[in-house]
Chains A and B, each alone.
Chain A
Amino acid sequence: MLTVNGLSKNYRKTVALDDVSFELPTGTTMAVLGPSGSGKSTLLRVIAGLEEPDRGRVMWEHADLAGVAAHERRFGLMFQDYALFPHRDVAGNVGFGLRMAGWSTGDIGNRVREVLEIVGLAGFEGRSITELSGGEAQRVALARTVAPAPRLVMLDEPLGSLDRSLREQLVVELGQIFERLESTVLYVTHDQEEAFTIADRVAVMRDGSLVQDATPEDLWQAPADIFVSDFLGFTNRFSAVAGDGRVDLGWIAVPGDYPPGPCQVVLRPDALVIDPDGPVSAVVSGSVFRGDHYVARVDTDSGVSLMVTAPARLHSGEALRLRLDPAGVLVLPQPQ
């Protein structure tokens, strides 16, 4: 189990890590999700031992790793643009960690073959690094990281530079590979879909702090604040006032007991239901095809714009009625 306790790190005046704590049980995968500059990479580098924290501790199985150098930690780190060694071929890269661990040449050869097979690059041993495609380089980097069977696998935006379709395919493969290897994984990304696909748990970071640490389902159900909700892509957000057993958005009120005063209300896609008997009337102003559903922009009579999920295409100018499903309504604290 990895334990991170109160990690803080400053670079001159910028705060890279601010009192970050969490536990990662062996065999689980946690995604660290956040916009660029939120301290994700620094977190990985500190855990790897490449940087020293200003304060706080990194522990493995309750043993403090302070003073244990990066090369003695047996943690794997896959770098953002792979950092493959240009002067070595694929086998030389994948077998590097094994050589450092003092494996025999024969054993290295066998293990390299085995790992390359796992990542789908069987027979690539003699290839030069410079002739690999983006997807192949990514797989070689992954193979190099997992070959020495590190106690912890860390990945820094491993799919960052690949195109959309390749990412969707690879993220599923990655999950399968980690499951097969029973790895403990820390996966850094800025893409929430990637995080939800691969992780048992998602930790959201902002400005060096851990904002929320939850399962993907819980995160979706109950984002901790408007930063997390915005980052998850919930676009229907309104200022509101709570009190007297309800929350008043001005154009509609939602029942519920919340601390009185100003707050923020987020309507998740499943909160707005198209219903001929609904209380809100609106007019469609545009619609987007999303494969298995449509997303329409509608304007209510009271002049509020909403994004609504619809099973069929809605045409501009079409009138419709909506109701609110309280299960999809999130009431979040007003930011300070």
Chain B
Amino acid sequence: MTAGRVGKVALVGLPLGFLTVFYLYPVASILFTGLYEDGSFDFSPFGDVLSSSSLRGVAWFTFWQAMVSTVLTVLAAMPIAYVFARFEFRGKRVLSALLIVPFVMPTVVVASAFVALLGRSSPLGIDLNRTIWIIFAAHVFYNVAVVVRTVGGLWAHLDPRLEAAARTLGATRWQAFRTVTLPLLRPALTAATSIVFLFTFTSFGVVLILGGLTYSTLEVEIYRQTLFFLNLPLAGALAIVQLVGVSLILWIYARYQRRRRVAASLVAASQVARPPTTTRQRAAVAATVGYLGVLVVAPLAILVARSFGGGNGGFGFYRALTETSSSTASVSAAEAIGNSLWIAAVATLIALVVGMAAAAVVAYSTGRAAAGFDLLLMLPLGTSAVTIGFGMLVALDWPIDLRANVLLIPLAHALVAIPFVVRISVPVMRSVRSELRDAAAVLGASPARVWREIDVPIAARALAVSAGFAFAISLGEFGATSFIARPDTPTLPIAIFRLLGRPGTLNFGQAMAMSTILMAVTAGVVLLTDRLRVRDVGEF
């Protein structure tokens, strides 16, 4: 075997091995737990799921709330996508960077923000706590960026002359949109819709915190069955039901993802966006900016506002965090922050090493095998975090017992982050056209030099953006962590969740303060790395 061949085997082997041990094996174990009991296959847990009206209700609720959340998110996002794609205005870049903040916000933080905004002590005077509306609101807030980025990204490159041509041929503004723009946007719209559906279908933290005992998704039910009722076979059966649903959505997503590449009539974004000229256009831009402020900024602002108070010149809640475990968390906030930071650092490192290797394989190879590999890498994104955490808990006691090992948390976080690293890096790596390498070679660069001078510098930006994302994901990861975190090593989201579950203003205030810290760190990391993004390349 040549050195190059060894390299290739390592590139494929590393992600494949990682996924097999930390993803496929745990998920297979769940299947086993759900279906195999006392030496034979037993499908009765499925019977329990189907016969129990409350479990059928959970499945049905999971589906329809995801459906409605997705439709609401698309409706909320389309005007923003339109204005961002077609108009050039001051502050656009800042706003578009700001849009990414909700998407990377930890679910726990989003849930706390909406409790503060629309809960019992709402400054608006509307108490939507424990209603479906607060769940919808949080889902829209969370996912609006996915639609704006994906659809708006394509929209910003659609030749506006196509619509103009339709207008000159007698189409009204609406007809031109419906018959020309919408069909051309459909691939991006379908991709975005499936991703949002996926995220809301597997929604955990938001529903767990905001839905109380009234509303429960499959995800939440798996958590309850496992941790409260210790009914592993039933949890396993639920996880299988969920996996089937998720695979279906992913399959649709992958199909449209492939078609998306052949979009026609694309032009540079700078040719599409124009400053608003008419009063009507200026009003549309202003309205969008204001609406974006309400949608994105208000929930987070209220969170920050609520974190102040409790005496001590407004910093009472923050002060309380530094005291080692009053009656609340069993460890201090400082320790939780420390845990979160080192776990995020390790998780980022693992995700980058495994994810970049996988991205290189996907970017530089073609054919069925590569496409299959690509899909395999996407699976953890679709598999709910709870399933991953649950699977690890069930499976990883053999050959070495990892369940009690603190490294299990960063491993789980890396698994959740890897699909993002791959999605961000592959398009950037593919954007290095072979021509650039040829040009460098003709100018006297040896193959090793070409790699160093061309591939690495361009991929380095993807690396930085991926690192920011992975770090943010790890900081906010809640679903898997809630299974595998040990009581004495909580991360920030776990600590916040514990605080929210306890009565009293001090606990609530402390939860708000911790959420604010978590939000600030997450937003800071993502905004910092987002500036390095190669313009218009990459997803999310």
Contacts and interface: CB of A to CB of B under 8 A. Distances in A.
B456 to A, nearest CB: 10
B442 interface: yes
B446 interface: yes
Contact of A96 (B435, B440, B447): B440
A11 to B, nearest CB: 15
Given A85-B454, A87-B457, A87-B458, A100 B443 contact: yes
Interface string B429-449: 000010110111111111101
Nearest to B444: A100
A86 B428 CA distance: 12
Nearest to B441: A70
B443 A96 contact: yes
Contact of B442 (A75, A85, A86, A101): A75
B436 A101 contact: no
Contacts of A72: 444
A101 B433 contact: no
A71 B436 contact: no
Contacts of A81: 435
B438 A144 contact: no
Contacts of B453: 96
A148 interface: yes
A86 B443 contact: no
Of listed A49, A97, A148, residue having the most chain B CB within 10 A: A97
Name the prevailing secondary structure of the B interface residues.
helix
Nearest to B435: A83
B444 A48 contact: no
A79 interface: yes
Given A74-B444, A144-B443, A83 B433 contact: yes
B442 A70 contact: yes
Given A83-B435, A85-B436, A85-B454, A50 B446 contact: no
Contacts of A69: 441, 446
Interface in A289-315: none
Interface residues of A, number: 25
A83 B442 CA distance: 12
A37 to B, nearest CB: 18
Given A79-B435, A83-B433, A85-B454, A101 B444 contact: yes
Interface string B405-447: 0000000000000000000000000000101101111111111
A86 B432 CA distance: 9
A282 B435 CA distance: 55
Contact of B445 (A83, A87, A100): A100
Contact of A97 (B438, B444, B447, B457): B444
Contact of A76 (B438, B442, B447): B442
A79 B434 CA distance: 12
Given A71-B446, A100-B449, A83 B438 contact: yes
Nearest to A86: B458
A77 interface: yes
Given A45-B438, A76-B443, A87-B457, 12 more contacts: A50-B441, A69-B441, A71-B441, A71-B443, A73-B442, A75-B442, A83-B436, A96-B445, A96-B453, A97-B444, A100-B443, A144-B443
16 contacts: A48-B438, A50-B442, A69-B446, A70-B438, A71-B441, A71-B442, A71-B444, A74-B444, A76-B442, A77-B442, A83-B439, A85-B436, A85-B439, A101-B444, A148-B443, A148-B444
Interface of B: 433, 435-436, 438-447, 449, 453-454, 457-458
Closest CB pairs A-B (n = 4): A100-B444, A97-B443, A83-B435, A83-B439
Interface of A: 45, 48-50, 69-77, 79, 81, 83, 85-87, 96-97, 100-101, 144, 148
